[in-house]
A and B are shown apart, each in its own frame.
Chain A
């Protein structure tokens, strides 16, 4: 006969929170959390209390006041009578411009350099090693300042272009002026322009969208869609009959002809820069602050991306390239069709963090006087209004949003190239 005895009734005692290993970790975490929250609450209340003692309570009303300063590079129209909010908006767009340009250039450069570093050509591979080590081991601020100094000191000033026998002359058939104030390139102009749409009325966030640009984008989009459709049809015919119809002229024509027609209709022409008064006028002015920042950030980040690409490629087993070679593929096709698509899976996650780094590094812009959001909101606005806390908090929020957006987009892209396991 067996007897069953109930296990002793579990009784919870307070001391178990500390001595029972089942509860101890939870207890410690709760205490740590409370401590952390108390600390945070103390910091916040201390800040508010001190600001009030100083007579500077937290408020954002100053954003509606006129900024009273000018910004040289602006994608939107802006005058010194516009509000601080608009100045911050102009700065935000400047940050985005340099971040996007930088990410694109850094990626292109990084991939090329990363691949070349694995080259069998000894000189090419060593040169790329030197590049990578040089750029990633020197702080990016130094590169920015260095490139700016080179631009300022070595290039001719606009006044050198003046006179009958000027010391400097324009390049590329008198179309581009390279000066120590930046590069002036021809700008696209439309004589039968469709005008702009004004968004957001008269508010600080107002901006104009060029209808010409929209029209060009729409036409290009439709053309590319048709061109893809031609390709799919050719694929289908090839599947069915084994013969691939020659389509390159159809596909090219379908893109080029409507675009050319549209441009002719809009009266497209180029506006060339010319020397007028103190400076060149006309054309698009790429300021040397933008060029220095863009170049330095791209070259610096490219060194890191090159290493990521190299690591990604080396992570693909040698068997893959040997198998591809056995199928008769040429080396560059092996790279583009077999190795890189697989390497991308390894490359993209660290690439995201480099994009984020580049974007955050763009806040060094003030070193060369590029008016990004740190220069406007976190610089002049903060200085003129004395609202340090508000400006810095907003600035952090802006960078956080930009970074999270980049990371969301890149994560989505990562999902789409990831190895699909079924």
Chain B
């Protein structure tokens, strides 16, 4: 009898688990932890540091969302995913959101049933070669062996680029960035191709970064951004506006240094709305009014996060470029908090 009850309960639980997929925000709050899918390790974007603590540009987005929803930037369970496993992990509910250099494409948005909440890095696919090869353009790569991470859009761009330029190549599909690095450094491939930011990050970890050059061609548009499952719009809104809060904070000059001062109230109603001293934006999201303040406090505004993890003063040394605010000629443009 006990067994029957147990089996019955298990069945009901299974049914409930199978059907109830909505309400990610409530799930996260009940769990007290945000499950965030990140890369298996790309320095600057998401990689554990010497103390085993995850650090990076994408990690900062996860932490901001955790801070907004749970009030604790450290209440994040980082789930490393490869290019191949990331979508299954998100679709199956293993992670609540992905912040993993994922390119926003039509088919991922529409056919794979995901929701890209914005762009946190405007990127493009580039090529890295050893300087000693003497190559100055990607069009000179006829017959080269190219290392490429499998399961990414770069794989498709690469095929298109070489086909449209009528040159041949030999693809070497690789599962993770670390393996690609090993093969590239050993000379098992002439070229490593991935998003230009990823190349810069990878090169920064080399013993002699100066021996390798990034070729001038950027062969694709790779808007990288966090994504969530399709169909749970409330959760999508939370992640979207957390990202927007980080971007707006930079635009309005809210930094981790002056945020407490500003939270006391300013003349700018938009800043007040973001920081929750005016209006009820937080309640509309199903959170409290200090959500954005906590998110910004977690790692600073977008500009601070950028500078700390991948900016020009880090070994990765990426310029803001397209990723500057729209007021500085970049593409970052957060819709108004109103």
Contacts and interface: CB of A to CB of B under 8 A. Distances in A.
Interface in A35-56: 42, 46, 49-50, 53-56
Interface stretch (B14-22, B241-249, B286-294, B304-312): B14-22
Given A54-B113, A371-B173, A383 B84 contact: yes
Given A369-B172, A380-B150, A278 B155 contact: no
18 contacts: A55-B113, A55-B230, A68-B160, A70-B171, A152-B186, A157-B187, A181-B188, A181-B189, A276-B143, A278-B141, A289-B172, A366-B175, A369-B172, A369-B174, A380-B150, A384-B107, A386-B87, A386-B112
B19 A379 contact: no
Contacts of A190: none
Contacts of B169: 70
Given A79-B163, A278-B190, A366-B175, A56 B113 contact: yes
Contact of B188 (A152, A281, A380): A152
A396 to B, nearest CB: 16
B171 A72 contact: yes
B208 to A, nearest CB: 17
Given A386-B87, A388-B88, A69 B172 contact: no
A379 B190 contact: no
Nearest to A160: B187
B91 interface: yes
A193 interface: no
Given A369-B174, A383-B87, A384-B151, 7 more contacts: A49-B19, A56-B113, A70-B155, A70-B159, A70-B171, A277-B143, A384-B107
A160 B45 CA distance: 35
B259 to A, nearest CB: 40
Nearest to A39: B11
B151 A383 contact: yes
Given A50-B19, A72-B170, A153 B186 contact: yes
Top 4 closest pairs, chain A to chain B, by CB: A157-B187, A80-B159, A386-B112, A383-B151
A345 interface: no
Contacts, number: 118
A288 interface: yes
A157 B186 contact: yes
A80 B144 contact: no
Contacts of B1: none
B281 interface: no
Interface in A297-349: none
Chain B interface mostly: mixed
Interface string A157-181: 1111000000000000000000011
Nearest to B173: A369
Contacts of A46: 14-15, 18
B253 interface: no
Contacts of A70: 155, 158-159, 162, 169, 171
B151 A380 contact: yes
Most buried by A among B18, B111, B133, B188: B188
Nearest to A278: B144
Interface string B144-163: 11000011000110111011
Contacts of A110: none
B27 interface: no
A158 B189 CA distance: 10
Contacts of B272: none
A279 B144 contact: yes
A383 B84 CA distance: 6
A367 interface: yes
A371 B170 CA distance: 13
B194 to A, nearest CB: 15
A108 to B, nearest CB: 29
B182 A152 contact: yes
Contacts of A81: 163
B10 to A, nearest CB: 11
Nearest to A54: B113
A385 B171 CA distance: 20
Contact of A279 (B14, B21, B143): B143
Nearest to B172: A369
A375 interface: yes
A148 B67 CA distance: 43
A371 B150 CA distance: 11
Contact of B150 (A159, A278, A369): A369
B143 A383 contact: no
B170 A383 contact: no
B142 interface: yes
Contacts of B188: 152, 157, 180-181, 288
Nearest to B156: A68
A152 B186 CA distance: 6
Contacts of A181: 145, 170, 188-189
A278 B173 contact: no
Most buried by B among A49, A53, A69, A375: A69
B231 interface: yes
A152 B113 contact: no
Nearest to B11: A42
A70 B133 CA distance: 24
B280 interface: no
Interface string A365-387: 01101010001000110011110
B225 interface: no
Nearest to B88: A388
A385 B156 CA distance: 12
B277 interface: no
Interface in A250-287: 276-279, 281
A207 B87 CA distance: 34
A277 B183 CA distance: 19
Interface string B216-256: 00000000000000110000000000000000000000000
A162 to B, nearest CB: 11
Contacts of B151: 379-380, 383-384
Contact of B145 (A53, A69, A278): A278
Contacts of B173: 72, 366, 369, 371, 375, 380
Contacts of A56: 113
Contacts of B163: 79-81
Contacts of A279: 143-145, 170
Contacts of A79: 163
B83 interface: yes
Interface in A121-177: 149, 152-153, 157-160
